[in-house]
Structure 1
Amino acid sequence: MTSGNAEDPADRGGSPGPGSDAASATDAPRAAETSDDGEEREPPRQQRSFWKELPLLIGIALVLALLIKTFLVQAFSIPSDSMQNTLQQGDRVLVDKLTPWFGSEPERGEVVVFNDPADWLIGEPTPEPNPVQRVLSWIGLMPSADEKDLIKRVVGVGGDTIECEGTGPLKVNGKALDESYVYAGNTPCSMDDHGGQFKVTVPEGKIWVMGDHRQNSLDSRYHQNDENQGFVPVDKVVGRAIVIAWPPTRWATLPVPDAFDQNLGAAAPGALGLAGAVPLVLWRRRRLLGAGDARNGRVTGSGTAR
């Protein structure tokens, strides 16, 4: 029998005794914490790792981007010079797609994006998108390369009569426009026989569009032989371009020019009839009153009484 001090089993690497505090701390499942007043507390939940939450965040962002692109605004790139100097090649514009959902229709002077109404872009080269552009178009952040969209300025709406004679000015319902936005060196109208000289009345539900670079824009003037006679159906309009968003040095809004602030409305046939009838009614009324005065022994008007 060997004498000596008794060692704690934990000190020599053995298992703690069944009644020890160490056994209750390591072997028993972790119990809910108890507060000083005796109430149990739930153990704190472990936070998800960033990498587990990342796919969810990306999914939410893509859904929001798709909703914004479908119902609110969409970015479009300008590939041509037809709207110079208002828009330049490479500009990115944001197009308002919300207001058409509430029945708003294009108005004179607005710059609008519209789907190709009748093969206006036939024969035009289709740009080949890079992989990044393909991904962005697939999720809806960029228009697809297969989409055929154009951008022009609305010059006339349903009921308007648009006219170009000689080099201009362009007339809307007989009123000349002071088009300061037309590309420098261009005339408002073109002296050619392929559509530059015209006088048309816009049907209801259609618009007449022209580019600001008048001598470099194949717009409504040059498609008068298509199925829509050059007019663009309102339901083909994607929305109004409201701002140049890129590049930053080109940032600007796209308001309606002052040329369209004057009263350009076409007089309705009923209004014209009423305007013509008023003088006739007044003349007949005056004649009847004059006859009545003569019967009563009175005379009206200038002259010398005898």
Structure 2
Amino acid sequence: MAVTKKAEGVGKEKKKGGFRETVLLLVLGVGIALLLQAFVVGSFYIPSISMENTLLVNDRVFVNKLAGAPGRGDIVVFKGWRGGEDTIKRVIGVGGDKVVCCDSKNRITVNGTALDEESYLFPGDFASGDKFNVTVPKGQLWLMGDHRTASADARSHMQEPGGGFISEDAVIGTAVMRYWPLNRATIFTRPETFDKVK
């Protein structure tokens, strides 16, 4: 009898230890997930048509918060023009770039190099209905939506303080992947046209 009671006691201790380990691992997992979301990877929901067809309403993207300074062609989430709301647009120009619209073929040029935007512009859309000629200040970005006729982007804010530019410090991160809906999941790459800009 004594042996049986001892074995039962050991079994109960093992069950208690296993439960504690499970709870500890669960808390640790949640803690790591929260830290990753706060400092490394975030999820962003697309609320508007301004980035069609690259991003559609209700799409969800993962954003890399440790990607460093954004480059031309990157899709970034940032604290935007509308009262600091999270906003998503494409980087067209970085600090020091001269961004002009448009050349004789109605293309945006960056430092004199014409962009071939066909791969990401909304089908049938054009570079811009608004003319502009800006030099991006150091530490700032010139951002535009891919659905130009439906995007309230840098062009819409040129008359405001800041001239429509967004500070690199306002960038939350670079969009790296659309993960929802699953049938449209894709990893984002920088369009090749930006490789030609010097």
With the shorter chain as reference, the TM-score category is 0.7 to 0.9
Tell me by how many angstroms 1:215 deviates: 0.2
Partner of 1:87: 55
Task: Supply the distance in 2 between the matched residues of 1:207 and 1:258 (Cα, whole angstroms).
Answer: 19
> Aligned letter for 1:109?
G
How much is the aligned-residue C-alpha RMSD, in angstroms? Answer: 2.4
Task: For residue 47 of structure 1, give the secondary structure of its aligned residue in structure 2.
Answer: helix
Tell me by how many angstroms 1:259 deviates: 1.1
Partner of 1:136: none
Task: For residue 46 of structure 1, give the secondary structure of its aligned residue in structure 2.
Answer: helix
Please give the residue correspondences for 1:43-82 in structure 2 after superposition, counting only pairs within 5 Å: 45-48=13-16, 55-82=23-50
Stretch deviating more after TM superposition (46-55 or 198-207)? 46-55
Unpaired runs of 5+ residues, structure 1, are: 1-21, 31-42, 123-146, 191-195, 266-306
Tell me by how many angstroms 1:95 deviates: 0.4
Partner of 1:174: 112
Partner of 2:128: 189
Tell me by how many angstroms 1:53 deviates: 5.3
Per-residue Cα deviation, 1:204-260 (whole angstroms, up to 9, x for no partner): 000000000000000001101222110000000011001101111010111001111
Alignment pair present for 1:160 and 2:97: yes
Task: For residue 87 of structure 1, give the secondary structure of its aligned residue in structure 2.
Answer: coil
Task: Supply the distance in 2 between the matched residues of 1:50 and 1:213 (Cα, whole angstroms).
Answer: 54
Q: Determine which of 74, 85, 100 is the counterpart of 1:148.
A: 85
Task: Supply the distance in 1 between the matched residues of 2:53 and 2:169 (Cα, whole angstroms).
Answer: 27
Please give the residue correspondences for 1:256-275 in structure 2 after superposition, counting only pairs within 5 Å: 256-262=190-196, 264-265=197-198
Tell me by how many angstroms 1:110 deviates: 0.4
Please give the residue correspondences for 1:241-256 in structure 2 after superposition, counting only pairs within 5 Å: 241-256=175-190
Stretch deviating more after TM superposition (248-257 or 55-64)? 55-64
Q: Determine which of 131, 146, 151 is the counterpart of 1:212.
A: 146
Task: For residue 153 of structure 1, give the secondary structure of its aligned residue in structure 2.
Answer: strand
Tell me by how many angstroms 1:168 deviates: 1.9
Task: Supply the distance in 2 between the matched residues of 1:236 and 1:216 (Cα, whole angstroms).
Answer: 23
Q: Determine which of 125, 145, 158 is the counterpart of 1:224.
A: 158
> Aligned letter for 2:64?
D
Q: Which has the higher contact order (CA 8 A, sep 6+)?
A: 2
Task: Supply the distance in 2 between the matched residues of 1:105 and 1:111 (Cα, whole angstroms).
Answer: 12
Task: For residue 15 of structure 2, give the secondary structure of its aligned residue in structure 1.
Answer: coil
Partner of 1:110: 74
Alignment pair present for 1:200 and 2:139: no
Task: Supply the distance in 2 between the matched residues of 1:59 and 1:46 (Cα, whole angstroms).
Answer: 20
Superposed structure 1 runs of 4+ greater than 3 Å apart: 49-58
Matched residue pairs, number? 192
Stretch deviating more after TM superposition (203-212 or 44-53)? 44-53
Task: For residue 178 of structure 2, give the secondary structure of its aligned residue in structure 1.
Answer: strand
Tell me by how many angstroms 1:186 deviates: 0.8
